[in-house]
A and B are shown apart, each in its own frame.
Chain A
Amino acid sequence: MKKMLIRIISVALAAVMLVACLASCGNSTDAKDEIVLPAFEGIEKQTVSGEIPETFKIGLICLHDKNSTYDKNFITAMEEVQAELGLKDSQVLISTGIPEGAECKDKAIEMAEAGCQVIIADSFGHESYMMEAAAQYPNVLFAHCTGTKAHTATDLNNYVNAFASIYEGRYLAGVVAGLKLKEMIDAGKITADKAKVGYVGAFTYAEVISGYTSWFLGVRSIVPEATMEVTFTGSWYDETAENNAAKKLISNGCVLISQHADSMGAPNACEEAGVPNVSYNGSTFSACPNTFLISSRINWAPYYKYLINCKVNGQTAVKDYIGTLKTGSVELTNLGAAVAEGTKDRIIETRNKLANGTLKVFDTSKFTVNGETLTKHLADVDDFGDYVGETNVIEGGAFVESKYRSAPYFDLKIDGITLLDEKYG
């Protein structure tokens, strides 16, 4: 009898704990809504003309799966395109968890053998393997996102690169952060000389440098006194390291954080500390309702449709595709409830200026390097592994990013940004 009693009590306790746990995991009730940001008006929508044959197949090779926000962008865009074009599951092959090694080549060949006419890979380290596969299957179109070598591989006509002018998205997100900083200064929470923002980066590569610099220039366009500290984790996806890095920046006195790494580490650290956060690759509003400001992301759907259109109609795809605000590739999420007043209108205005070219992100009059305004800079556009710049990229008073190739090559260390560390590979 006693035993029975103990059993009943323990079961009851377990049930209570389960209920408590479920309750605590649920969303909190004081939900402030996010502010809807209308999509850019001037999008020239990519369409696929002509009939897509039943035998058409497209393959996508991803480094991680949907748990990584970066890969999620690729996968969900592919699913959207599949639904829009009415492709069957057997026509859209998605392989996840393909490391940046020989397995990528195996997978690409496997997809080509399975009848894919277009094969896309999403991670920087996939490039050399995609090129090897491209050499073996000249009738299949191989596209590599973030890659740098297509424009110099003139003998590989079926190999192309793509990226987006995401620095414009970053700049806009920086404007949102700047407005928030200004609100904090105006409210007397901080003084202008304390306006220091922090940035958690993955690696000290051009892609990340281009990202944080454009974001910082966005911030400075509103608060000219702002400074920034950057720290790197040395990994694209390391939740603990990103969380710790954000905490370190906050304890260093950074009053607003953004990141270029793929986990929820930094946004969660910000939510915990009540520090406003600008996210990347997708909205983190639902997890961080009190601190999320905005996020920029690349929408890959226009590029997928562009490739399909080229292949179906027998056209040659460009060596370097640069998605922009106009193609609908550079997107901003809705604004979080925490943004400063008037942010929405300001963003729409700035976005129009960027799209029509009246505003340039890397305007050389807006930043200095070692105290000097740049008139000439050789960037390492042709990637032969030498890390030596050969192309002048200062034109018409601005650093022209993503003109000579799709992948970012902005590698300047501008004044006002302090790198706490550097991490390569």
Chain B
Amino acid sequence: MVNNTKHVKEPLVHLTRRLNVSPLFAWLIRIGAFILSILVCCIVSCILSPKVNFGSFFKYLFEGAFGSSKLVTTLLRDLAIYLILALAVTPCFQMRYWNIGGEGQAMMGAFGCSLVIANTAGKMPVWATIALSFAAALVMSVLWAVIPALFKAKWNTNETLLTLMFNYIAVCLGAFLIKKVEPKGTGILAFKEGTLSSLGVSDFWIIFLVAAVMTVFMYVYQKYSKHGYEISVVGESPNTARYVGINTKKVVIRTLLLCGLISGVAGYLLVSVKDSSFLSDSTTQSTVAGRGFTAVLISWLAHFHPLAMALTSFLVVFINRGATQVGNMARLGNSYAGMMVGIFFFFIIATEFFINFQIHFRAKAPAVPKEDRPAPAPEEPKPAEPGRE
């Protein structure tokens, strides 16, 4: 006997959106994913090198991050730099303006700062060079942030592409500057005078304090200011924004101005405080060194919450520095730390998926054929209308 009944196959897995996810549940999943990612890093490392075992992996990981007071301050300083860069792009994302040009904006800040130091150091009083270089950093960075915003406001161009391409233009401009200043140099501008660090201030404290102040500022700005409110309205619905009388174009440009200012500070701190030099070979071999791209991820993972961003940037720096130590001790080469950070990001991004969706697996029992399904219950006969006799 031929069975002609058609089976409607239920898919092996199907997803439903979770509604009302409790924050506690979300954080438990995130912490779980973090631990899992470290364990996977550990297993991969053990496979890669016979010099690594479970114990030594964790020993080197923590040694590299917290091994001495010097290492802790370096870790916090690096964290602060990531945090400032992430804070810069955050209001743009809240507004759903996809600014992935934080890298280039900070690069241009560094560019402006270097331009002034290279031309005025030694010819002016130190304080004048410092003030001028700081102003130049802000101007260049704001310029780099606002140009794509103007294009967006005026012609509705795609800001994602424009800001991305601006990163590469910034690196080329930086390379051009270095060539101009030192045509026969080694490709890096080193500054002895005219920097904040030449005054003997601690790079750690300056960067750390600036980051702390900015974090608090951004928190208040987002949460309690009218600007912050306007940003969130524009982000959620531009139409609503228009109905309530918000000038969207103005908000976009104003927000990018703020973003440029913060990026400019980051660029300035990198040149004048942290490095005392300027490098611009490529997006990875430069003063900003790709941090602007990582900052985008840091901001997203923290759901644009400034305090949570401090945590995500801590995790990134921790894994990076810890893994570098593991890689050096096990002689695994330079790409190793990048790989570990990659594994970490992979897990954390996957986590967002599991927080937002629930997975249902097909039940073990065979799917019920269509015919056998209980027929929809016949409509209840309407109660007879009462007679009108």
Q: Among the listed A67, A101, A110, A128, which residue makes an inter-chain contact with B70, where contact means beta carbons less than 8 Å apart?
A: A110
Instruction: Given A102-B277, A128-B190, verify A113-B70 contact (CB < 8 Å).
Output: yes
Q: Among the listed B67, B74, B184, B186, which residue makes an inter-chain contact with A100, where contact means beta carbons less than 8 Å apart?
A: B186
Q: Looking at the assembled complex, report how far the CB atom of B162 sits from the nearest CB atom of chain A, in whole angstroms.
A: 29
Q: Looking at the assembled complex, report how far the CB atom of A207 sits from the nearest CB atom of chain B, in whole angstroms.
A: 12
* Chain A residues closer than 8 Å to B179, beta-carbon distance: 425
Contact B328 A96 (CB under 8 A): yes
Determine if A397 is an interface residue (Cβ-Cβ < 8 Å): no
Q: Looking at the assembled complex, report how far the CB atom of B294 sits from the nearest CB atom of chain A, in whole angstroms.
A: 16
* Chain B residues closer than 8 Å to A125, beta-carbon distance: 186-188
Instruction: Given A89-B51, A424-B185, A425-B185, verify A94-B331 contact (CB < 8 Å).
Output: yes
* Chain A residues closer than 8 Å to B190, beta-carbon distance: 128
Determine if A343 is an interface residue (Cβ-Cβ < 8 Å): no
Contact A100 B333 (CB under 8 A): no
Q: Among the listed B68, B185, B279, which residue makes an inter-chain contact with A101, where contact means beta carbons less than 8 Å apart?
A: B279
Instruction: Given A89-B329, A99-B279, A102-B276, verify A124-B186 contact (CB < 8 Å).
Output: yes
* Chain A residues closer than 8 Å to B187, beta-carbon distance: 100, 125, 425
State which residues 265-303 of B face A: CB under 8 Å: 274-277, 279, 285, 287, 289
* Chain B residues closer than 8 Å to A360, beta-carbon distance: none
Contact B71 A110 (CB under 8 A): yes
Q: Looking at the assembled complex, report how far the CB atom of A5 sits from the nearest CB atom of chain B, in whole angstroms.
A: 22
* Chain B residues closer than 8 Å to A113, beta-carbon distance: 68, 70-71
Most buried by A among B186, B285, B329: B186
Instruction: Given A102-B275, A424-B183, verify A114-B188 contact (CB < 8 Å).
Output: no
State which residues 151-204 of B face A: CB under 8 Å: 178-179, 182-188, 190
State which residues 77-124 of A face B: CB under 8 Å: 79, 89-90, 93-97, 99-102, 106, 109-110, 113-114, 124
Q: Mark B311-337, 1 if CB is under 8 A from A, else 0.
A: 000000000000010011101011100
Determine if A66 is an interface residue (Cβ-Cβ < 8 Å): yes
- Cα A36 to Cα B235 with chains together (Å): 72
Contact B275 A101 (CB under 8 A): yes
Q: Among the listed A99, A109, A424, which residue makes an inter-chain contact with B184, where contact means beta carbons less than 8 Å apart?
A: A424
Contact A99 B334 (CB under 8 A): no
Residues of B within 8 A of A (CB-CB), count: 32
* Chain A residues closer than 8 Å to B274, beta-carbon distance: 102
Q: Among the listed B70, B182, B333, which residue makes an inter-chain contact with A96, where contact means beta carbons less than 8 Å apart?
A: B333
Q: Mark B120-138, 1 if CB is under 8 A from A, else 0.
A: 0000000000000000000
Determine if A384 is an interface residue (Cβ-Cβ < 8 Å): no
Contact B68 A114 (CB under 8 A): yes
Contact A425 B333 (CB under 8 A): no
Contact B184 A387 (CB under 8 A): yes
* Chain B residues closer than 8 Å to A114, beta-carbon distance: 67-68
Contact A65 B334 (CB under 8 A): yes
Determine if A64 is an interface residue (Cβ-Cβ < 8 Å): yes
Instruction: Given A94-B328, A96-B328, verify A425-B182 contact (CB < 8 Å).
Output: yes
* Chain B residues closer than 8 Å to A106, beta-carbon distance: 74
- Cα A110 to Cα B65 with chains together (Å): 11
Most buried by B among A66, A93, A110, A425: A425
A93 to B, closest residue via Cβ: B328
* Chain B residues closer than 8 Å to A101, beta-carbon distance: 188, 275, 277, 279, 287
Q: Looking at the assembled complex, report how far the CB atom of A340 sits from the nearest CB atom of chain B, in whole angstroms.
A: 38
- Cα A128 to Cα B191 with chains together (Å): 11
Q: Looking at the assembled complex, report how far the CB atom of A409 sits from the nearest CB atom of chain B, in whole angstroms.
A: 15
Q: Looking at the assembled complex, report how far the CB atom of B325 sits from the nearest CB atom of chain A, in whole angstroms.
A: 9
B328 to A, closest residue via Cβ: A95
Q: Among the listed A66, A95, A96, A425, which residue makes an inter-chain contact with B178, where contact means beta carbons less than 8 Å apart?
A: A425
B64 to A, closest residue via Cβ: A110
Q: Looking at the assembled complex, report how far the CB atom of B308 sits from the nearest CB atom of chain A, in whole angstroms.
A: 28
* Chain B residues closer than 8 Å to A94, beta-carbon distance: 328, 331
- Cα A113 to Cα B64 with chains together (Å): 12
State which residues 409-425 of A face B: CB under 8 Å: 424-425
Contact B277 A99 (CB under 8 A): no
- Cα A99 to Cα B281 with chains together (Å): 11
- Cα A94 to Cα B185 with chains together (Å): 28
* Chain A residues closer than 8 Å to B184, beta-carbon distance: 387, 424-425
- Cα A425 to Cα B177 with chains together (Å): 12
* Chain B residues closer than 8 Å to A100, beta-carbon distance: 186-188, 279
B67 to A, closest residue via Cβ: A114
- Cα A101 to Cα B178 with chains together (Å): 14
- Cα A23 to Cα B8 with chains together (Å): 47
- Cα A124 to Cα B186 with chains together (Å): 8
B197 to A, closest residue via Cβ: A102
* Chain B residues closer than 8 Å to A96, beta-carbon distance: 327-328, 333-334
- Cα A66 to Cα B277 with chains together (Å): 27
* Chain A residues closer than 8 Å to B70, beta-carbon distance: 109-110, 113
* Chain B residues closer than 8 Å to A128, beta-carbon distance: 190
Q: Looking at the assembled complex, report how far the CB atom of A107 sits from the nearest CB atom of chain B, in whole angstroms.
A: 10
- Cα A114 to Cα B188 with chains together (Å): 28
Q: Among the listed A66, A99, A124, which residue makes an inter-chain contact with B285, where contact means beta carbons less than 8 Å apart?
A: A99
- Cα A54 to Cα B362 with chains together (Å): 62
Instruction: Given A106-B74, A424-B184, A425-B187, verify A66-B333 contact (CB < 8 Å).
Output: yes
* Chain A residues closer than 8 Å to B68, beta-carbon distance: 110, 113-114
- Cα A100 to Cα B285 with chains together (Å): 10
Q: Mark B50-69, 1 if CB is under 8 A from A, else 0.
A: 01000000000000000110
Contact B275 A425 (CB under 8 A): no
Q: Mark B62-100, 1 if CB is under 8 A from A, else 0.
A: 000001101100100000000000000000000000000
B330 to A, closest residue via Cβ: A89
- Cα A66 to Cα B68 with chains together (Å): 28
The 11 sampled A-B contact pairs (Cβ below 8 Å) are: A79-B331, A96-B328, A97-B333, A101-B279, A102-B275, A102-B276, A110-B70, A114-B68, A424-B184, A425-B186, A425-B187
Question: Which positions in B face A, CB cutoff 8 Å?
Answer: 51, 67-68, 70-71, 74, 178-179, 182-188, 190, 274-277, 279, 285, 287, 289, 324, 327-329, 331, 333-335
Top 4 A-B pairs ranked by shortest CB distance?
A97-B334, A102-B275, A425-B187, A65-B333
Please name 15 further chain A to chain B contacts, defined as beta carbons within 8 Å, in addition to the given A79-B331, A96-B328, A425-B179, sorted by A numbering. A64-B334, A65-B333, A93-B328, A101-B279, A102-B274, A102-B275, A102-B276, A106-B74, A110-B74, A113-B70, A125-B186, A125-B187, A125-B188, A128-B190, A425-B187
Question: Which positions in A face B, CB cutoff 8 Å?
Answer: 64-67, 75, 79, 89-90, 93-97, 99-102, 106, 109-110, 113-114, 124-125, 128, 387, 424-425
